[in-house]
Amino acid sequence: MSEYWNPFDAYRPELTEDPILDYFVAPDFLPDLIGSRKSIVIVGGRGTGKTTLLRYLSYESQKIVCSNLEGNYLSQMKSIGVYWRANTNYVTAFQGSQLDDAEWSKAFAHYINIVICKKMCEIVLDIGLHYSFHYEEEICQAMGKVFYDSSIRSFRGLIEFLSDKQLEIEKYVNNIGRVNEPIWSIPERAHSTFSHELVKEPALENKWFFFLIDEYENLAEYQQRVINTYIKHAEVPYSFKICRRVYGDKTNQTLSDSEFLSETDDWSTLDLNTELRPKFADFVKNVCRKRLEKHPVLSERGLTNIDYFLPGLSIKEECARIEKAKSGFIPYRGRLEAIIFNETGLSQGLKDQILSDVLGCSDPLLRRLFLCLIERRGNKVVDVYQEYLNYVSGKPSKFKEGQWIHNNELGVLFLLASEYSVQKLYCGFDVFILLSAGNIRDFLDLCSATFRFAMREGYELGDAQPIPFDVQNIAARHIAQKHLIEIAKNQPYGEILRDFTLALGGIFEYFHRDTKQSEPEKNQFTVDATGLTSQTREILYKAVMADILLEFRGTKYKSKSELKISDFMLHPIFSPYFRISYTKGRKLSLAPGQLELLIKGSKVEKDGVIRSVTKGESRAPSKVEQTTLFDFIDGGDSIE
Amino acid sequence: MVTALNERTFVLSEIESEINANVDLYFFGDGVDDRDKFLRDIYTEKFPDKCFVIHYDVDQETFAINAGPEGKLKSDFNVFLRDILVKDMSVFLDVTSIPVPLMFYMLQEIQKHNKLSNVFCAYTKPELYHKNKGVSERDRYELNEGFLGIKPIPGFLRSDKNNRDRLLVVFLGYEGNRARYIYEEESASTIVPVIGLPGFRPGWNDTAFEMNLELIGETSAMDYVEYIAADSPFEAYELLSEIRAQNPAKYLVLAPLGTKPSALGIALFSIISEADCAIIYDNPKEKKNKTVGVTSTLIYDVSSFFC
């Protein structure tokens, strides 16, 4: 066996040894992002590539990119990116009952002054390896004034000074109430002064500084106000690029009670979901190609298209596969016969003819769809039959032109899987694209698990064979389960969100399995959010922020205050677990009171809501049910 | 005075009489598991005037001694210690019942105080951990009711002055999602998973491995897995010393998710190494009665770290 090598392991940009440039695929909007000197707020879910983008814009990455261009790298570099991540382990230290928010603000602003200037200093020292500075002492004296120290004469001295200041504030935070308060520097003075001073240097003339703030959502409200103030007051030669999750903004207020950020005046939004979604599949292929190219055999043979490794089944093929598993058996035959024979106004001969034609149809999808349609209120058997005859004879028909097939085929597939007790497979590049819903990390996660499971079964990457459907399916289900378990980390509502997800998934699972439903595939809910309590709304925001729900509404997302009537879909990444559809299906309308109980109610209350929406035929799973790494056939018979 | 016991581990019965004769102050947490109560019940009955039962609120960072008034950990705990600790005293901490953040904080504060003669730490092993039925493999040992989330252990906010690459050393427990959470939060370039081997009971080390297998695979960390005795703080300390020596260009970030003895080893290392490593912790809200019964109690003489 060859050495274990999974091209999709350790994909997180923060953790890859050669992090950004090795795997970076430039999105279409990159030139605008780099070119714009306005502050930009980049909004996207977990794993949509926010960190990668910011890291790419950082001085460290741009130095490598520009070094590969003609001329010296600094002359090619239009902007200098100063990256800072709001690391939870640090920013949460600046919270607590020992100080009020006003006092914490001073401490946090001082801390930000230190860490950002320290980062700038590191960059300047690196530039100093290639260029000589003319005004080093003057710049350092200006910075000394910011921090109330007149002894700093060099960048090296400044970085030492800032390191000591960092230790000083850490000591203060570690021992609040026991050590003296440091002398606080004035908010925003440090990075502003440093930027203005540095562009006086000939080597940095006309350069622009981007302050790249990652994981803004980790900041407490008062901390966001500090950063908001910096954005509000950004001026030549610097601006901000902020990454945050949807609903990651806790306030748009600055440190002044009467001052607010305004999108028109202060920043523009780049919504990654909107920007990436239209060309997501192509983007994903390019990202995967970069990983597969690392394998010498695949690279040599040109087998670096991920869709080659992830073959799928069309809906029609999968319906046939399901029926083939139980050849000769049509579980819904009795219902079909009953409806046709009970239809009034038809001769017995015509009834026999309809039944014979439908049962004799070689396409199981069409056959089962016929039953769905005649069970649907308002449809007459004879009319559906006429459309059927038109379709099979190649004439215009509602089956094709009227989109009956297109609108119902996935739902029919789920019904067939349920009726035949055969597992619906989640496999294929196109399905994985839909499961990941524009989230590159989710897609890579699915690939990583797929290759890992395949390799456990003896798959060799160098053989460059497509990965079997059932292995992909296991991986998809495994990732769904992993995401479910990890919901609990979204504190303080982790457990509430997990139970809500299980309840919601249970409801949608029922709709997909209910063979009496003539309109299957319900996997969204709609609610008038204005009727919800503030806490439930907060939990709903958290569910969207944590990528548990996808939110759809008429207007482009701007802020929490706009949350009114919205449609929500359980994130498709969970669909293999609940065995439900991964495309936008039909909606379940929930009253605010029902949603309140599904989110915050007791087990009994949740079950009450579930019974009422499923007419008493379903209950919420209370735990993430057990599957093992080798649980290939749960929920149905395994077939090849 | 107890002598020549530095950096050694004893079964309680081997040293009980010396402990009883020489220890001046006993500290316990207010946990409710059998193993939490085991020593506390014995000593609070035997030496009520020498015992302090500490309640700690992780969220508010407040504490209360013997069900007394609340104080703020960072500003008031050292006053409490200053009032009771006297030079050449011997102290005893039952780390079984003391929450991890409080254990770190107490040890750091004790180190700052008067020179002590002896510092003993005790750990009582459980008979078994509660196992959840009907849940996924990875969710099987759900030992906590939730998490407050990542925030620094009081007194342990630290950063790397030299901005080195970060090396995350995760002492693994049974809850795979905890290690993943830490991993996702920490921007470390390398991860070293540490597993207790042997575990407290045969097979428990396999559980820790199994629960974290996926993360180990995904992070290509299989070659970096380290094993230490689950009940030895000294092996944890030694391992960290070795990792430090082998990786001078990296900044160590330590995640004490494993056994309490291994967390004790991490605490000792991080206190002694004076800020040249960081701690990352997810502050679980522990389930009551997550363990059942007791098997044995080990006493660690950690005096050489403090005295």
With bands split at pLDDT 50, 70 and 90, how would you rate the model's confidence at A515?
low
A97 touches chain B (CB under 8 A): yes
If DSSP states are collapsed to H, E and C, what string results for A579-633? CCCCCCCEEEECCHHHHHHHHHCCHHHHHHHHHHHCCCCCCCCCCCCCCCCCCCC
How much of chain A exceeds pLDDT 90, in percent?
62
pLDDT score of A558: 44
Over residues A521-554, the pLDDT tens digits come to: 788 899 888 888 999 999 998 999 999 999 886 5
CB contact under 8 A, B147 and A491: yes
Is the pLDDT higher at A468 or at A614? Answer: A468
Size of chain A, expressed as the number of residues it contains: 640
> Dihedral angle at the C-alpha atoms of A97, A101, A106, A107, nearest 10 degrees?
30
For residues A119 and A190, what is the distance between their CA atoms, to the nearest angstrom?
Answer: 12
Looking at per-residue pLDDT, the higher value among A2 and A324 belongs to: A324
H-assigned helices in A88-216? 88-91, 101-127, 136-146, 155-174, 189-198
pLDDT for position A490: 81
pLDDT given for residue A639 in this prediction = 30
B139 touches chain A (CB under 8 A): yes
Q: Which residue of A has its CA nearest to B153?
A: A93
8 Å CB contact of A122 and B163: yes
Q: How many residues does chain B have?
A: 307
Cross-chain residue pair B146–A494, CB shorter than 8 Å: yes
Q: Mean pLDDT for chain A?
A: 88
Q: Are A578 and A423 in contact (CB under 8 A)?
A: no
Which residue of chain A comes nearest to B74, CA vs CA?
A: A175
Q: Could you tell me if B181 lies within 8 Å of chain A, comparing CB atoms?
A: yes
Token digits for A289? Answer: 């190609």
**For testing the chain B interface, which of A174, A243, A483 should be mutated: the one with the most B CBs within 10 Å?**
A174
pLDDT in tens, B233-278: 999 999 999 999 999 999 999 999 999 999 999 999 999 876 689 9
**Contact at CB, B148 and A87, closer than 8 angstroms:** no
pLDDT at A147 over 80: yes
Cβ contact A491–B146 (<8 Å) = yes
Closest residue to A88, CB basis, from B75, B132, B150: B150
**Residue A274 contacts residue A552 (beta carbons within 8 Å):** no
Q: Does B218 touch chain A (CB under 8 A)?
A: yes
Partner-chain contact B157 A174, CB within 8 Å: yes
Cα separation, A136 vs A154, whole angstroms: 6
Whether B218 and A448 lie within 8 Å, measured CB to CB: yes
For residues A618-634, average pLDDT:
42
Q: What pLDDT sits at residue A626?
A: 38
Distance from CA of A159 to the nearest CA of B (A): 10
Q: What is the pTM of this model?
A: 0.85
Name the residue among B196, B246, B254 with its Cα closest to residue B225. B196
Determine the residue of chain A that is closest to B186 in CA distance.
A87
Q: CA-CA distance, A456 to A4, in Å (whole number)?
A: 10
A140 touches chain B (CB under 8 A): no
Model pLDDT, residue B239: 95
Tokens of B208: 């820790």
SS3 A36: coil
Chain B closest CA to A116's CA: distance in Å?
A: 13
Residues 6+ apart with CB under 8 A from B10: B298, B299, B301
Which residues, 6+ apart, have CB-to-CB distance to A202 below 8 Å? A134
Cα A251 to Cα B196: distance, rounded to the nearest angstrom: 45
Q: Which of A3, A60, A89 to mutate to test the interface with B (most CBs of B within 10 A)?
A: A89
Q: Is the pLDDT of residue B144 over 90?
A: no
Q: Residue B109's pLDDT band (boundaries 50, 70, 90)?
A: very high
State whether residue B132 sits within 8 Å of chain A by CB: yes
Cβ distance of A98 and B75 shorter than 8 Å: yes
Contact assignment for A93 to B61 by CB distance below 8 Å? no
Q: Which of A162 and A22 is assigned the larger pLDDT? A: A162
* Average pLDDT estimate for A243-255: 93
Q: How close, in Å, is residue A417 to chain B by CA atoms?
A: 24
DSSP three-state, residue A47: coil
Please list every residue in chain B whose beta carbon sits closer than 8 Å to the beta carbon of residue A163. 161
Q: What are phi and psi of A510, to 5 degrees?
A: -60, -45
Closest approach of chain A CAs to the CA of B55, in angstroms? 18
- What would the DSSP string read from start to end of A518-553? SS--EEEEEEEGGGS-HHHHHHHHHHHHTTSEEEE-
